Amino acid sequence: MSRHSALVVLLAVFAAATSCTNSPSIDREAIADATVRVQADGCGPRSRLGVGTAIGDGLVVTAAHVVAGADHVVIDHVDTTIDAEVVLFDPDLDVAALRPVAATGAAAPLRDDPASEGETGVIAITSADGPIELVEVEVLQRVTILTTDIYRDEQVRRPGVRLAVAVEPGDSGAMVHLAGGGVGIVWSRSTERSEQAWTVDLPEELLRSDARRTITTPVDTGPCPST
């Protein structure tokens, strides 16, 4: 999980609470099948670990700091380890997309509408030697977060939510699944409250199938982030 020393400032909050009563139910089996473990090598003696989610058109989304500086990335899905190329890397949003060399199972559904205060859902947590666990979450607040890029070089703004959930190192990149589909990914736990985490909305190019199909070329993953 990334650590950001700068004070996180909430800049824009304020979304009306939304009921999920009339929304489609969350497909927990599909979410578990779409979730993978991401392992990135190249920054130190140990692999950096995170969570990834298959989102369709051959892409897996995770947090950028999980794969920053990596020279070799693999994903673990069920009992299979698959090589993957990083094809999108955004250190400002802390979002990355991977293109595995082989299929990884069903894609998680996504939705265009951003998360709203009061919605409930799940994130999928993976472990090196255990099954995927679906953890209940609640959206506490829509926010635009003033923080730094993953290298702590520049101030950036990330649209997302403050989430009620306890996460640990290695959970970065876990997708927030609400009624209707996935809406964003976890990039950090709160440094002020242990039972809360910060998420960033999925960028537009990952929400649209026509745009995802064009994201095919491996990209530079930059230097290794500081620890």
**45-103, pLDDT tens digit by residue?**
999 999 999 999 999 999 999 999 999 999 998 889 999 999 999 999 999 999 999 98
Instruction: Look at residue 203 in the predicted model and tell me its pLDDT.
Output: 96
Say whether both 52 and 148 belong to one domain.
no
Residue type, 83: D
- Within-domain flag for 212: no
Instruction: Look at residue 1 in the predicted model and tell me its pLDDT.
Output: 53
**96-112, pLDDT tens digit by residue?**
999 999 988 789 999 99
**pLDDT exceeds cutoff 70 at 20:** no
Q: What is the DSSP letter of 24?
A: P
CATH of the domain at 187: 2.40.10.10
**pLDDT exceeds cutoff 80 at 11:** no
Final residue before a domain boundary, out of 66, 88, 107: 107
**170-219, pLDDT tens digit by residue?**
999 999 999 999 999 999 999 888 899 999 999 999 999 999 999 999 99
Neighbour-count burial for 86-114, b at 16+ CB within 10 Å, e otherwise: bbbbbbbbbbbbbbbeeebeebbbbbeeb
| Pairwise CA distance, residues 210 & 199, whole Å | 25
Instruction: Look at residue 10 in the predicted model and tell me its pLDDT.
Output: 40
Locate 55 and state its tokens.
Answer: 């989102």
Contact in structure between 35 and 60 (CB atoms under 8 Å): no
Say whether both 146 and 100 belong to one domain.
no
- The pLDDT confidence band at residue 33, using thresholds 50, 70 and 90, is very high
Q: Average pLDDT, stretch 162-174?
A: 95
Q: What is the torsion angle, in degrees rounded to the nearest 10, for the CA atoms of residue 15, residue 17, residue 21 and residue 24?
A: 20
- Within-domain flag for 219: no
Say whether both 52 and 140 belong to one domain.
no
Of 94, 48, 92, 53, nearest to 73 by C-alpha is 48
Q: How many structural domains is the chain composed of? A: 2
Question: Which H or E run contains 4?
Answer: none
SS3 209: helix
SS3 67: helix
Question: CA separation (Å) from 119 to 96, 155, 203?
Answer: 25, 29, 20
**pLDDT exceeds cutoff 90 at 7:** no
Residue 119: give the domain boundaries: 9-26+109-206
Say whether both 201 and 124 belong to one domain.
yes
Report phi then psi at 66, rounded to 5: -70, -35
pTM (2 d.p.): 0.89
